[in-house]
């Protein structure tokens, strides 16, 4: 499935880029994030607890940054294992565009789920991803002077 979204952030593009690539910042703002460790320049491991309908599981995720084009765009490849809950694979493209002093962030996610997540969660996964993304960007935006808004 594909999920798209945009967020307007009240900061200059380079500043947004820097925050988005700051592990400590991300750890604070990713909903349910229990840990986030940088393995090397482009590889991270995250442990995130998420609830998708009746499934409440801890997902161990391997994240790789790809196609880094500072400060314009990058791609995140994520492989998550939720044990008995199943697993997910996602490819998220993030693009940052300057709009005066703001930055318009556009993201597009291609997501596949497997196992129990697919069997009982596939109808819920879309809404859950949108909800978690909104939560993330709302709190992420709040660290800048003015709160961001969803566009």
Partner 1 sequence: MAVNRKVIGQSLPRPNVMSFIKGHGKYLDDIIVPGMLHVCYVRSPYAHAKIIEINADDALAIEGVVKIVNGKDLLEYCKPWTAGLTNLGEMRSAPQHAMPPEIARWQGEAVVAVIAETKAIAEDAAELVEIDWEELNPVTDLQKATENDSALIHPELESNVAWSIDIDAGEVDSALENSDIVVEKVFEVGRQTGVTLEPRGMIADYDRGKSYLTLHHATQVPHIQRYIIARQLGLSESSVRIICPELGGGFGLKLHVYGDELTTCALSMMLGRPVKFVADRLESFLSDIHARGHRISAKVGVNKDGQIQAMTLDNLAGCGPYLIHPRTSVIEPLLVAICTPLAYNLQHYRAKATLVYQNKVPTGQYRGVGMPIASLVAEGLVDAAALACGIDKVEIRKRNLHAVDAYPVTAVSGEFLEGLSQVASLEKLTSMMDYKGLRAEQKTMRDKGIHRGIGVVTVVEGTAPSPALYAAGGAPISSRDACTLRLEADGEISCTTGLTDQGQGGVAIVTQIIADTLDLSMDAIRVSMGDTATTPFGGGTWASRGTAIAGEATLRAAKAMRASILEVTSMISEQPVDILDLVNGEIVNLETGETQMSMQDVGQAIHFKTHQFPEDFEPEMIITRHYSQREQLMVYANCALGVSLDLDINTGLVTLKKIWAVDDCGRIINAKLVTEQLRGGIVQGIGSALFEECLYDEDGQLLNGNLIEYLVPMAGDVCDIECAHIETPTKASELGAKGCGEAGIIGVCGAIMNAINDALEPFNASVTSQPFTPAKILRALGKV
The binding site for partner 1 (CB under 8 A) comprises 83-84, 86-87, 112-116, 118-120, 122-123
Minimum CB separation of residue 77 from partner 1 in Å reads 15
User: Which string of DSSP letters, residue by residue, matches 79-138?
Assistant: EEE-GGG-EEEEEEEEEEEEETTEEEEEEEEEEEEETHHHHHHHHHHHHHHHHHHHHHHH
- 6 vs 122, beta carbon nearer partner 1: 122
- The CB-of-140 to partner 1 minimum distance in angstroms stands at 31
Question: Rounded to an integer, what distance in angstroms lies between the CA atom of residue 138 and that of residue 147?
Answer: 8
Q: Which is nearer to partner 1, 25 or 47 (CB)?
A: 47
Q: Closest approach of Cβ 109 to partner 1, in Å?
A: 16
Distance, in Å, from the CA atom of 9 to the CA atom of 121, rounded to the nearest integer, reads: 31
d(CA 149, CA 38): 29
Residues 6 or more apart whose CB falls under 8 angstroms from that of 21 comprise none
Cβ proximity to partner 1, 122 vs 143, nearer residue: 122
Minimal distance in Å, beta carbon 123 to partner 1?
6
């Amino acid at each position: 499935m594909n999920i798209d979204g945009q967020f307007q952030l009240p900061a200059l593009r380079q500043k947004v880029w820097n925050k988005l690539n700051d592990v400590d910042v991300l750890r604070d703002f990713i909903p349910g994030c229990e840990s986030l460790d940088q393995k090397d320049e482009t590889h991270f491991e995250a442990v995130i607890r998420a609830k998708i309908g009746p499934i409440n599981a801890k997902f161990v995720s391997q994240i790789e940054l790809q196609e880094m084009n500072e400060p314009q765009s990058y791609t995140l490849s994520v492989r998550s294992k939720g044990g008995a809950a199943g697993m997910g694979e996602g490819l998220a493209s993030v693009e940052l565009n300057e709009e005066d002093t703001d930055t318009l962030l556009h993201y597009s996610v291609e997501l596949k789920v497997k196992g129990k997540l697919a069997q009982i969660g596939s109808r819920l996964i879309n809404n859950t991803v949108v909800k978690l993304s909104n939560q993330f960007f709302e709190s992420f935006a709040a660290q800048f002077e003015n709160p961001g808004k969803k566009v």
